[in-house]
Structure 1
């Protein structure tokens, strides 16, 4: 066991070297840390726990990527329901009346739904893939009726699917209007897309655990999370994806012997 642990430690050092010391804090970790803690615990996740975690998570997403608003949707029968909504405080700073308006808007949306297949969120769930829109006015799938109902002007957005344990899309997370430092609405970046997809993956898992108390994280899920925390790339079964510097330290036979990559 000691020999294996020593080899694993050395491969982690080699991975760090391969990244040329450019490790930076991963913003995904600060967002999903609370989710992962709940996933790793043996206790049952109750509805109230789930709601608290999701409300905290979407607020962190908005703050991290600089969006104005975020919505989590879940499919219920023939409707796509608004489940969790958060408006950035930048929309109502120092204006108590504006804050009350956004709170009323949120409550109104939570009692409504969108027909399946409608809007960009309907397309994302139907096709089970992420869609990033730079200018909603040029997208024929954009559902203007929601903006007309809320009075909120959506200009740019990212929508990513929430998937169940079988990979089927059962909902979506959607962020609206990325803000530049000067307050101008700008396009979301590819980094924003990756961040939202990572968060959606873990959000889906905590939902699965709530509805199925027997759900447990796989070893690969745990390994991926630890890799994120350590600032390391997760090693896949493909030798072609392993940094070349690793081969200077270990042969394929050693890596297989000490189980340094999944098999």
Structure 2
């Protein structure tokens, strides 16, 4: 859809350019005709009375001005119409781009989640993104994770919050004995967190979220798991 919209935008720009060129050509033609008429009148100047000459020149000048006005008005009207159409296309392109970012953003997060689960052998996991002073669950995988997407927690809450605020990895074998652990999410899901690995999601501007993996199936998370993520 975006490719088609971009093609239409290119056509609009091309038409606008052609109208401007056509407008210039019309003005040149009108000006050339005016000069030819003046030259023609000059050749017969001796045979035309002064009042008649003034009248003819006035009529010619009026016609030239009227022609230029009509051509200019028509061109401006066409250009204004195209500009309105272009603005509508730009709005459509922006909206389409936003939709594509949302759709492909979710797909990307889901792919990251699935890859992390496979690489580490974790039983469950989630991706939380920073929104203001909250961490919002965007993706959640696991036997009891259905209610997590859309749920938010304070950015400073729990081990995930600590990882986000400090932009640091956290790898724990016994999460419940860690002072940073917050049991609220476990209470909501009925899932028991044991081992845990949190990795902050970073861009140049800073940390935008956290990847959290829970309960490695064959023991505790390793240094290798952490380095791979």
TM range (shorter): 0.5 to 0.7
Are residue 66 (structure 1) and residue 121 (structure 2) matched?
yes
What is the alpha-carbon distance in structure 2 between the residues aligned to residue 64 and residue 164 of structure 1?
22
2:168 is matched with 129
The offset of 1:146, in angstroms, is 0.8
The offset of 1:109, in angstroms, is 1.6
The offset of 1:70, in angstroms, is 1.1
Any idea what the Cα deviations from partners look like across 1:206-247, whole Å, max 9, x if unmatched? xxxxxxxxxxxxxxxxxxxxxxxxxxxxxxxxxxxxxxxxxx
- The one of 81, 91, 103 equivalent to 1:48 is 103
1:38 is matched with none
The offset of 1:47, in angstroms, is 1.5
1:79 is matched with 134
The offset of 1:154, in angstroms, is 0.6
Q: Does structure 1 retain, via aligned residues, the 8 Å contact 2:158–2:182?
A: yes
State the SS of the aligned residue for 2:106.
Answer: helix
1:190 is matched with 223
The offset of 1:117, in angstroms, is 0.8
2:157 is matched with 118
2:57 is matched with none
State the SS of the aligned residue for 2:159.
Answer: helix
State the SS of the aligned residue for 2:148.
Answer: helix
Question: Moved runs in structure 1, 4+ residues, more than 3 A?
Answer: none
State the SS of the aligned residue for 1:148.
Answer: helix
- The one of 179, 191, 197 equivalent to 2:217 is 179
**Which residues of structure 1 form unaligned runs of 5+?**
1-42, 92-101, 181-185, 197-263
- The one of 141, 155, 178 equivalent to 2:180 is 141
State the SS of the aligned residue for 1:46.
Answer: helix
What is the alpha-carbon distance in structure 2 between the residues aligned to residue 116 and residue 57 of structure 1?
21
- The one of 150, 153, 157 equivalent to 2:189 is 150
Q: How do 1:248-259 and structure 2 match up within 5 A?
A: none
The offset of 1:46, in angstroms, is 2.2
Any idea what the Cα deviations from partners look like across 1:88-147, whole Å, max 9, x if unmatched? xxx5xxxxxxxxxx3xx42x2223111121100111111111111110121011111111
The offset of 1:153, in angstroms, is 0.7
What is the alpha-carbon distance in structure 2 between the residues aligned to residue 170 and residue 46 of structure 1?
16
What is the alpha-carbon distance in structure 1 between the residues aligned to residue 155 and residue 115 of structure 2?
28
User: RMSD over aligned Cα, in angstroms?
Assistant: 1.8
What is the alpha-carbon distance in structure 2 between the residues aligned to residue 57 and residue 118 of structure 1?
23
State the SS of the aligned residue for 2:104.
Answer: helix
The offset of 1:53, in angstroms, is 2.3
The offset of 1:65, in angstroms, is 1.4
Q: Does structure 1 retain, via aligned residues, the 8 Å contact 2:125–2:141?
A: yes
Q: How do 1:97-116 and structure 2 match up within 5 A?
A: 102=144, 105-106=145-146, 108-116=147-155
What is the alpha-carbon distance in structure 2 between the residues aligned to residue 110 and residue 46 of structure 1?
18
Higher relative contact order (CA 8 A, sep 6+): 1
